[in-house]
Amino acid sequence: MADSGETDWKAVKPTGVDHEDTMNSAKVKKVWTEIYKLAGLKNPDETTQRAMRMAVYVYGCLNGTSREGNYNGEMRLSNGTAVPASVIPRATGKMQIRQFYRGNMNESYEALKQSGVIEEDERFVAKVAQLGISASCAFATSDWMGDCPLFTPAETAAYNASFNVGLQRSRRARDGKTLEGVEQSRTEERLDAQGPSEGPAPVGRSVW
């Protein structure tokens, strides 16, 4: 396309482009609606919705948001209602759990920080204290909060300390492989366990 004169690129800026590691607001809204439904919360009022969201944020902070997680625990809302944590991956899809949490980054930051709920979990506070992280910054170790724009310098340091230790442990557990590499190995192990398939063997793998 011919270009006459100076191009006005500002005039054609996109109205929005998704970050692939973060679920967009429209999808986030649909997931919350599904979570309320799976939790048995019929037409929840605003307070009940906030209680459900808070419980989801706390569960994610304490247990992590990896797609490899079991999500077999239970969340007890502020009104005493018990909800299985399995509603989270059921609503988001196993591959988009952390993207969903990242789509709620600012709200989850404010909820966890303002409530002080993580500071009340003695086991969790003791664990992060071993990394030199204070109780008031414990919530900032939530694994979806990387590059949170609301972080204070102390909270950024807390996240980085936790992330670096978690990365080292993960690499040791996976023998230096990435999660994708581990999943590929598991797939190949399952295929090998099933025995030789009909047709030629895939390049690089023997059926014997």
CB 101 within 8 A of CB 69: no
φ and ψ of 84, to 5 deg: -70, 140
Q: Taking the CA of residue 56 as centre, how many other CA atoms within 13 Å lie in the half-sphere pointing to its CB?
A: 27
User: 75, 82 in Cβ contact below 8 A?
Assistant: yes
Euclidean distance between CA atoms 57 and 101, whole angstroms? 8
Rounded Cα gap, residues 22 and 103, in angstroms: 5
pLDDT at 202 over 50: no
* pLDDT tens for each residue of 55-106: 999 999 999 999 999 999 999 999 999 999 999 999 999 999 999 999 999 9
CA–CA gap between residue 75 and residue 54 (Å, rounded): 10
- Residues 141/128, Cβ–Cβ less than 8 Å: yes
Q: Would you say how long the chain is, in residues?
A: 208
Q: Is the pLDDT of residue 187 over 60?
A: no
Q: What band does 1 get if pLDDT is binned at 50, 70 and 90?
A: low
DSSP of 130-188:
TTT--GGGGGGG-TT-TT-TT--HHHHHHHHHHHHHHHHHHHHHTTT--HHHHHHHHHH
**From CA 149, how far away is CA 92, in angstroms rounded?**
24
If you average pLDDT over every residue of the chain, what do you get? 84
Please give the pLDDT value at position 5: 66
Can you tell me the distance from the alpha carbon of 126 to that of 27, in angstroms, rounded to the nearest whole number?
36
3-class SS of residue 112: helix
Predicted confidence band of residue 180 (pLDDT cuts 50, 70, 90): low
pTM: 0.78
